Amino acid sequence: MKLARTLAAGAALMSAAGIEASGRLAPKPDWSTHDMPSQEGRIVLVTGGTSGMGYEDALALSRAGAEVIIAARNPERGAEAIARIRESVPDAKVQFEAVDLASLASVRGLAERLNERLPRLDVLVNNAAIMAPPERGISADGFELQLATNYLGHFALTGLLVPLLRESPDARVVSLSSIAAARGSLNFDDLQAERQYDPYGSYAQSKLAILHWVFALQRRSEAAGWGIRSIAAHPGVAVTELIARGPGLNSEFGRQWAEDRDAYHSAAQGALPTLYAATAPEAVGGAYYGPTGDEERRGPLGFARTPPAATDEADAERLWTLSEQLTGVTYP
């Protein structure tokens, strides 16, 4: 089956149930980085900001005047990303912090450094991800690698940075899901895919977990008065390095992707839902933003359709409790 058909089938399973868009101000369909308000004085952390959409986030936010911290695994790629940003934005306030989201010790180390030196954190963009490695990988803590990198690492990092976020007058946590979440399910009996590993199934599960967590975090923020907007976004299908670093360009999936890539949009376009959620005054806590055309693979910005599975609050609470147990991070 062509990738386009697979994505279309996934989109067909989506529903507008869950996060209700009615009565909320929808984004301007042609919203772009030109519509971003000044980010002067804002402190932003972007995970996975050395390439792809994370890099585009860091570039656009630097251009808007924010102090940007790129957090990623490879310091050399971090230095290259910072040099590229400064070529476009000579006065950019951008720096690199090393973190491996698949290591809870590394996540704790980053959180400790930031809590020691930052007065606050205004925006946390949970962008880093891996997609469908052919063989089941294991994190430093023994978790399935996609769940660890895409979800558990971000769950832990965000929890550890809640004190800094609460110091901001307009705190936002923007977490990246995917249209693949519509094909996902939470397999609590084999969450780590120890019995059976399906690369794409595990990826979809990790992105569904992110949606559950985003909505649960918003409920907690509202109930406890944290003042944090928790927002989900997805890029549609953008041309990035995710395929090359995951299933590989020579895989069946990679070949199908290459055949259809002219139908997808750029990393800069894919970053727009995230940038809207991170900067637009009217962005709604608990909402889900993404492209609205072409089965949400690309198109005008708007409210994304939420998979019905992501609206099950019982599953969300079960996942939250389990995530605290697995990571050892309890939100304050």
pLDDT in tens, 263-278: 567 889 999 999 999 9
- Distance between CA atoms of 72 and 128, rounded to whole angstroms? 8
Per DSSP bridges, beta strands 43-47 and 67-72 are parallel
User: Is the Cα torsion angle 300, 302, 307, 308 positive or negative in sign?
Assistant: negative
Q: What is the mean pLDDT of residues 17-21?
A: 37
Could you tell me the two tokens for 45?
């952390």
Per-residue pLDDT, 266: 83
Residue 8, pLDDT > 70, answer no
Strand order of the β-sheet with 298-303 is 93-98, 67-72, 43-47, 123-126, 171-176, 228-233, 288-293, 298-303
Alpha-helical (H) ranges within the chain are: 3-12, 52-63, 75-88, 104-117, 145-146, 153-165, 199-224, 242-245, 252-260, 267-270, 272-279, 313-327
Q: Which of 203, 264, 276, 289 is catalytic?
A: 203
- Distance between CA atoms of 11 and 134, rounded to whole angstroms? 24
Instruction: Tell me which residue of 196, 218, 238, 239 sits closest to 306, measured CA to CA.
Output: 218
Instruction: Tell me which residue of 267, 260, 215 sits closest to 236, measured CA to CA.
Output: 267
Residue 255, pLDDT > 80, answer no
- Distance between CA atoms of 57 and 46, rounded to whole angstroms? 8
Distance from chain centroid for Cα 33: 18
- Distance between CA atoms of 222 and 226, rounded to whole angstroms? 7
**Highest CATH level, class, for 3-15+39-327:** alpha beta
Model confidence at 298, in pLDDT bands (50, 70, 90)? confident
Establish whether 276 is a catalytic residue: no
Per-residue pLDDT, 93: 98
Give 118-133 pLDDT, tens digit per residue: 999 999 999 999 998 9
Residue 19, pLDDT > 70, answer no
Give 211-236 pLDDT, tens digit per residue: 999 999 999 999 999 999 999 999 98
Could you tell me the two tokens for 214?
């985003």
Q: What is the mean pLDDT of residues 232-246?
A: 70
At residue 50's C-alpha, the angle toward residues 49 and 55, to 5°, is 55
57: region left, alpha or beta (phi > 0 left; psi from -120 to 50 alpha): alpha
Radius of gyration, CA atoms only, the chain? 18
| DSSP H or E segment with residue 233 | strand 228-233
Give 152-202 pLDDT, tens digit per residue: 999 999 999 999 999 999 999 999 999 999 999 999 999 999 999 999 999
* Number of helices and strands in the chain (H, E): 12, 8
Residue 24, pLDDT > 90, answer no
| DSSP H or E segment with residue 141 | none
Per-residue pLDDT, 297: 85
User: Is the Cα torsion angle 192, 71, 161, 103 positive or negative in sign?
Assistant: positive
Of 16-20, 159-163, 241-245, the least confident: 16-20
